[in-house]
Amino acid sequence: MRKPLLEVKDLQIKFETKRGTIAVSDGVSFAIGENETLCLVGESGCGKSVVAVSIMGLLPAHARVAGEIRYREADLLQCSPGEWSRFRGREIAMIFEQPMSCLNPVISAGRQIAEAYAANNRCSKREALAEARRKLDEVGIPENCFVKFPHELSGGMQQRVMIAIALACRPNLLIADEPTAALDVTVQCQILELLHCLKDRYRMSMLLITHDLGVVAEMADTVGVMYAGTMMELSGVEDFFYRPGHPYSRALMNVVAGNALSPIRGSVPHLLEPVPGCPFHARCVDAVEQCRRARPQPRIVNGRMERCHHFTGDNSGRQLDQMVSSR
Ligand code: SF4
């Protein structure tokens, strides 16, 4: 069996704050194979972005991290900051929800791409600029935008520049944190199509964080569902939609599959005040007494992982067509 490109094992991330310790990732595990896309879903504040940032090695200094983040043969958590920086850009790149907050406002789009390329490749300035022009063309930005500053570009164009910067060094893994959330619907589709196309062209793997289950249906090979810093379900995309298993996954689907007016009651527990038992029990329609007392442990049946006392691995349902056609 081929080794995955990225393997995250039992990742624990804690932040020490004046008000106490916050566990933002509590034993999260997943793997991404070559040319595969794993989508991380879950409500805001469930720890998805922190997990993504931890893979980039960009957590603040006061974060306490344990577990393993293995990229090919390297255990990134054991790398020095200098060693880790060699993976950033060249091997693993990341794009964010708000491109404007990541782009340098006083440097033109073309020069920012050229600088990203030059930072990771031995090349002359002329070569870097030529590569930046090729990348702009590849992400569908007209030539005349090369000299434009970020504020002169639309949100969609800014995100394309971010994608061009991320791809400047041909990374093997692209992490995209809500890359389309700030864009309008038509531009969202164009950006997703672009990501799909570039992923196939470069045979990249992708870790995609999104709230949109329609995006998951179109992009994912594997789906990870996070809740309150915990991975509740990890399954293949068909299992996730056709045989929805975990009560939290079903609740998320219920919200988008025509029942947008019936949100999940309650809210995500505050990570400063962890709840006993299953973190989802206060909102779960299937909760029983055991859920309030005992934390469910991950169980794997037929390649699908769930944390739920009721999990048997035998679920049925039909959701995928609905998700795809709802876009
Ligand atoms: Fe619901 Fe209990 Fe399963 Fe948690 S363990 S998801 S509360 S049924």
296 lines ligand 1 (CB under 6 A): yes
Residue type, 64: R
pLDDT value of residue 259: 54
228 lines ligand 1 (CB under 6 A): no
The alpha carbon of 183 and the centre of ligand 1 are apart by a number of angstroms equal to 35
What averages of pLDDT result for each successive group of 10 residues across the chain (327 residues)? 88 91 93 96 92 95 94 94 89 90 93 92 92 94 93 93 92 94 86 93 95 91 96 95 90 72 75 88 94 94 91 54 40
| Domains, the chain, with CATH or none | 1-91+171-327 (3.40.50.300)
Cα–Cα dist 8/26, whole Å: 12
CA 71, distance to chain mean position in Å, is 16
309 lines ligand 1 (CB under 6 A): yes
70 lines ligand 1 (CB under 6 A): no
Ligand 1, pocket-test mutation among 246, 280, 293, most atoms within 8 A of CB: 280
pLDDT value of residue 326: 40
Residue with CA at minimum distance from ligand 1 atom 7:
281
The alpha carbon of 315 and the centre of ligand 1 are apart by a number of angstroms equal to 15
Q: What phi and psi, each to the nearest 5 degrees, are found at residue 260?
A: -60, -20
pLDDT value of residue 267: 82
pLDDT value of residue 268: 84
Residue type, 56: M
Residue with CA at minimum distance from ligand 1 atom 3:
308
Closest atom, ligand 1, to C-alpha of 281: 7
For the whole prediction, is pTM greater than 0.85? yes
Question: Scanning the structure block, which residue is given the tokens 């090919």?
Answer: 72
Q: Which helix (H) or strand (E) holds 22?
A: strand 20-32
Cβ burial 98-131 (10 Å sphere, 16+ → b, else e): ebeebbeeeebbbbbbbbbbbebeeeeeeebbeb
